[in-house]
Amino acid sequence: MANEHPGKSKVAAGLSCGALWTIAKGIQKGEIVLCPSGQGNYYIGEVIDNYSYKPSNILPHRRQVKWHANTIERTSMSDALRNSTGSIGTVSDITKYADEIETLIGGIKPTTIISTDISVENASEFALEKHLEDFLIKNWKQTELGLNYDIYEEDGELVGQQYPSDTGPIDILAISKDKKTILVVELKKGRVSDNVVGQIQRYMGYVLEELAEENQTVKGIIIALEDDLRIKRALSVTRNIEFYRYQINFKLFKP
């Protein structure tokens, strides 16, 4: 692929491979997908078959989808959902907007609303940090990380949130302002500590092998609500991954 498109970067190749992996393996039968019509609305479909390869077709990598008659108007979406579905040529996981999508669809319930992930220890933290991810992206320049890193971009478009890899989407992918270091940021999201450490190491391995240029290094950061002894013990023998805590401040006052 790189030889056929010499003008494209490793990031562009990574996005294409990640999108292909999601379509082939990541999407499950029975899940609901949204597809832009190009005219300001989205078709609604249910995946009804496994991946198939049709070499004689223009788009050889395929999943069979049952398309529904009704559509979703882009103007009826919240800003957050609209931004998450607006990336051209990418596949985005919008499960966290399941409640809104269910309302917009009008009775067709996505199967991905219910999580059966056994690695999630704390469901409340999982839900909270789903919103924290969006907050970090929107307020990146005001955070400590934003002083030295920028969210990954490709062709002028932010692609660093839920960046696709061959082992799952990376929460946040950033690059240092001097372009020498690629940063992988993973929120704990209530998961088992050992799972989080293993996951970020896999993501960093992917970035090192598939995205990083010869003069670039890869670092990682795990963000969690509470101090985590198990994560700290694991990271004590790892030089390129750091641990951050976040705090939530809420004030109610009468003007």
**Both tokens assigned to 13:** 């190749």
The whole-number pLDDT of residue 122 equals 46
Domains of the chain (ranges; CATH) run 10-113 (no CATH), 123-245 (3.40.1350.10)
For 71, other C-beta atoms within 10 Å of its C-beta total 18
Taking the whole predicted model, whether its pTM rises above 0.95 is answered as no
The per-residue pLDDT for range 23-46, each reduced to its tens digit, is 777 788 888 888 888 788 888 888
Q: How many CA atoms lie within 13 A of 243 on its CB side?
A: 19
The whole-number pLDDT of residue 112 equals 43
The per-residue pLDDT for range 72-124, each reduced to its tens digit, is 888 888 877 887 776 656 677 788 888 788 888 775 544 443 334 444 444 44
The whole-number pLDDT of residue 109 equals 46
Q: Using alpha carbons only, give the angle 182, 144, 120 rounded to the nearest 5 degrees.
A: 70
The per-residue pLDDT for range 147-160, each reduced to its tens digit, is 999 999 887 888 89
Range list of β-strands (E), 83-147 = none
The whole-number pLDDT of residue 251 equals 61
The whole-number pLDDT of residue 212 equals 93
Long-range contacts of 190-193 (CB under 8 A, 24+ apart): 190/120, 190/121, 190/122, 190/123, 190/124, 190/125, 190/126, 190/129, 191/117, 191/119, 191/120, 191/121, 191/126, 192/119, 192/121, 193/228, 193/230, 193/231, 193/234
CA dist 105 and 224 (Å) reads 34
Mean pLDDT, residues 161-173? 89
Question: For the chain, what percent of residues have pLDDT higher than 70?
Answer: 77
The whole-number pLDDT of residue 30 equals 84
Task: Report the DSSP pairing between strands 241-245 and 61-62.
Answer: unpaired
The whole-number pLDDT of residue 11 equals 66
Residue 17 in contact with residue 210, Cβ under 8 Å? yes
Closest CA to 59 of 1, 5, 20: 20
Mean pLDDT, residues 155-171? 87
The per-residue pLDDT for range 188-231, each reduced to its tens digit, is 876 667 788 899 999 999 999 999 998 999 999 998 877 778 88
Cα distances (angstroms) measured from residue 219 to each of 6, 86, 134, 174: 27, 29, 21, 10
